[in-house]
Structure 1
Amino acid sequence: MLNAFRARFWDLALGSAMTVLFALSGTAVALPLAVAQLLPLFWRRRFPAAALLIVGSATAAHTVLGMARAIGFFPATIALYTAATHGSPRVKWVLCPAVGVAMAAASAVRHGPVEGLLMAIVTVTVAWLAGMERSEHLRQRMERAAAEDRERLARRVHDSLARTVTVMLLQTEALRATTPLDSAAEQRIDTVLGAGRSALAEVREALAAAGSGPALGPRLEMLRGAGLRISGHPPARLPAPLQDITDRLITEAATNALRHDGPGTLLTITTVPGDGTLTVRLTTEPGGSASGSQRAGGGFGLVSLTADIHGYGGELTFGSRHPAGWQLEATFPALVPGHD
């Protein structure tokens, strides 16, 4: 909340300063084009591609009409930087260069190949590269934060669950060694010890894998073997924190689908990329004789996922489908907001 308020404050301050500069310097040749250059900057974080397209187009048209370049290019460079920082790969590698070329061409028409074209190319290239560098910095910082979170969780599990299970095993071993037991009691003790050792091995295996994130593929294969049908593919090649959370979301949805709707249930995974956002939609369709239970709300897994997705600035919605089945939809930014 504080980061969002701070971002809005700086957007307002920046937009106001640019408006004052345009007004005092006489930069605006056409008032509608000046408004089109300045107004979209207030929404550039939420809609980076649209803001860049509008501001860049208005800047190119305004340049041809004789706009002063020094101040007149500022809004476009800000929009270009933001789009390169927050945008999807298509925005970064296609839209940003295309808008830069359009502005450079307009500047060349108005001011010639050196004063116009060369200066414009240098300006837009510096803004674009600065945004790309910022994007990479944010990605690395997010990956480090995710790794630190997993390590902290692993330490907590080790300090609590693993040690508790170890104490239980030692006490059970001591009970068998010091207490006369009949054959039935011995068998029960062996069962408890076997389950405890198995649980301890699973905890240690989970701790060892904590740095590599959830193994989504093997989990889905295991659920397929139990009768779940899966259509579509999970999103891949995401920044580590978002990859972890989408894997957890899919695992939760797949497990719940099999648990509540039974074998033969179809889980459909749909990934919808946007301009700096990603939407993962999961729908279930009970198979055959399954009735498709109508769950009134989310369990602990969905509550935890909702909190985590909100922490990344995203939203999670879920509910029953007509006539049967379930749908979950998570939408979150490709980068954590409030860090630019």
Structure 2
Amino acid sequence: MTWWGGAHWQRAVDVALGAALATIFLVSGAVVSVPLAVAQLLPLAWRRHAPQVVLALVGGATAAHTLAGMSRSVGFLPVTLALYSAAAHRSPWIRWGTCGTATAVVVAASGLRHGPVEGGLLAVVVCVVAWLAGVERGEHVRERTAYAAENTRLRWEQTAARQTAAAAQARERLSRRLHDTLAHTVTVMLVQAEALRSTASLAPADRDRLDRVLAAGREALADVRAALADQAEADPAATLADRLRALREAGLRLPPALPDGLDDLPAPARALAHRLIGETATNALRHDGVGSRLDIAVDRDDDALTVALTSSAGRATGGPAPRGAGFGLRSLAVDVEAHGGTLRHGRSDGSRWRVVATLPLRPPG
């Protein structure tokens, strides 16, 4: 902030005004009592921070100095400045109560000293003019503040609208890419698989395997279309049940039912737990092959849920295929950490792949 801007500018004006008033008091010969003159001038330095207190002090000192014989023309300058500052305050108690009391005290003292017309009436005119100027300034400042606040709100709304529009454009671009690539590719795969099923002589086991492929492809195409249409996500438990059923039919050995403790979870933790089981089960079949097994263990208390999944290869010879954390696990790790939990994965006992997630069940703090 520069010297002539904001609070620095106000301090410079206050210093210059105080020096000018002190000089006028000294050269005019209006000072009858030095302590009362100081009491009139010194509190003005705090008139912006405590206008009601400053007005009470300056008003009382002005009344006392007037009764002591102070000149009216110069002696009223401090109290008019204090009135001007207090009248601009937003509180009606200060605008009317404090300003009215100070005006009454000064008018009474001036009337007693100089008479009802030359003293009291003149003090009324001077104080009322200063009060009206302060009220007008206060209204102007409040209107300007409200205008600035409204402009700030409008700028925030415009920024939010631009961000929303940018997000919508990005989503539209992603939707076009999905439609032009993934949906097209899955559709071609389904058409070719349907043609193979209709024209080829397949053994019953091979026909069943092809039917599972077709069912999985149709389900994937439906998921893509639902995502493009921004439809609401299906229930995580139902989605997981369908996924595990398809994986069992494809050759993955799974427990007959999920462990207890997953049904009455809070919605965010429940969705993450079901996603984790589905993703790990898919990885187990893809990397460890037909006949592989996935063990699921759940440990839950009042504060946290721990889900441990361990897969073992179904191959008769050779270990499980090499693998690391793919996009699914990386995405899940980000979501789990955002929820306040942890996700660990890696080799266990050399030939097994183990994924362990811990999710808090209570909000932090």
> What TM bracket, shorter-length normalisation?
0.5 to 0.7
Cα offset for 1:71?
0.6
SS in 1 for 2:230: helix
How do 1:24-43 and structure 2 match up within 5 A? 24-43=27-46
Q: Does 1:102 pair with 2:105?
A: yes
- For 1:23, the equivalent position in structure 2 comes to 26
What runs of 5+ residues in structure 1 fail to find an aligned partner?
197-288, 291-325, 327-340
Q: Does 1:85 pair with 2:88?
A: yes
Alignment check: 8 A CA contact 1:80 1:96 kept: yes
- For 2:8, the equivalent position in structure 1 comes to 5
Q: Does 1:59 pair with 2:95?
A: no
Q: Which amino acid aligns with 1:46?
A: H
Structure 2 CA distance for aligned equivalents of residues 195 and 118 of structure 1? 78
Alignment check: 8 A CA contact 1:77 1:127 kept: yes
Structure 1 CA distance for aligned equivalents of residues 221 and 131 of structure 2? 73
| Structure 2 counterpart of 1:194, from 217, 230, 244 | 230
Q: Does 1:139 pair with 2:162?
A: no
- For 2:220, the equivalent position in structure 1 comes to 184
Structure 1 CA distance for aligned equivalents of residues 102 and 224 of structure 2? 73
Q: Cα distance 1:176–1:14, how it changes in 2: closer, same or farther (>3 A)?
A: same
Q: Which amino acid aligns with 1:130?
A: A
Q: Which moved more, 1:140-149 or 1:175-184?
A: 175-184
SS in 1 for 2:120: helix
Structure 1 CA distance for aligned equivalents of residues 50 and 39 of structure 2? 15
SS in 2 for 1:86: coil
Q: Cα distance 1:95–1:188, how it changes in 2: closer, same or farther (>3 A)?
A: farther
Percent sequence identity over matched residues?
Answer: 43
SS in 1 for 2:88: helix
Alignment check: 8 A CA contact 1:29 1:67 kept: yes
Cα offset for 1:185?
4.8
- For 2:171, the equivalent position in structure 1 comes to 168
Structure 2 CA distance for aligned equivalents of residues 50 and 87 of structure 1? 15
Structure 1 CA distance for aligned equivalents of residues 231 and 137 of structure 2? 50
Structure 1 CA distance for aligned equivalents of residues 67 and 27 of structure 2? 21
- For 1:121, the equivalent position in structure 2 comes to 124
How do 1:212-231 and structure 2 match up within 5 A? none
Q: Which amino acid aligns with 2:126?
A: T
TM-score by length of 2: 0.50
Q: Cα distance 1:108–1:171, how it changes in 2: closer, same or farther (>3 A)?
A: same
Q: Cα distance 1:31–1:195, how it changes in 2: closer, same or farther (>3 A)?
A: farther
Cα offset for 1:86?
3.2
- Max Rg structure: 2
How many pairs were matched up? 200
- For 1:76, the equivalent position in structure 2 comes to 79
Q: Cα distance 1:105–1:157, how it changes in 2: closer, same or farther (>3 A)?
A: same
Structure 2 CA distance for aligned equivalents of residues 186 and 101 of structure 1? 83
Structure 1 CA distance for aligned equivalents of residues 43 and 227 of structure 2? 67
Structure 2 CA distance for aligned equivalents of residues 6 and 195 of structure 1? 58
- For 2:159, the equivalent position in structure 1 comes to 156
Structure 2 CA distance for aligned equivalents of residues 132 and 3 of structure 1? 21
Q: Which moved more, 1:133-142 or 1:179-188?
A: 179-188
SS in 2 for 1:125: helix
Cα offset for 1:43?
1.2
Cα offset for 1:171?
3.8
User: How large is the RMSD of aligned CA atoms in angstroms?
Assistant: 2.6
Structure 1 CA distance for aligned equivalents of residues 225 and 56 of structure 2? 71
Q: Deviations over 1:173-199 (max 9, x none)?
A: 663476244323533552464379xxx
Structure 1 CA distance for aligned equivalents of residues 146 and 230 of structure 2? 38
Q: Which amino acid aligns with 1:47?
A: A
Structure 2 CA distance for aligned equivalents of residues 128 and 184 of structure 1? 76
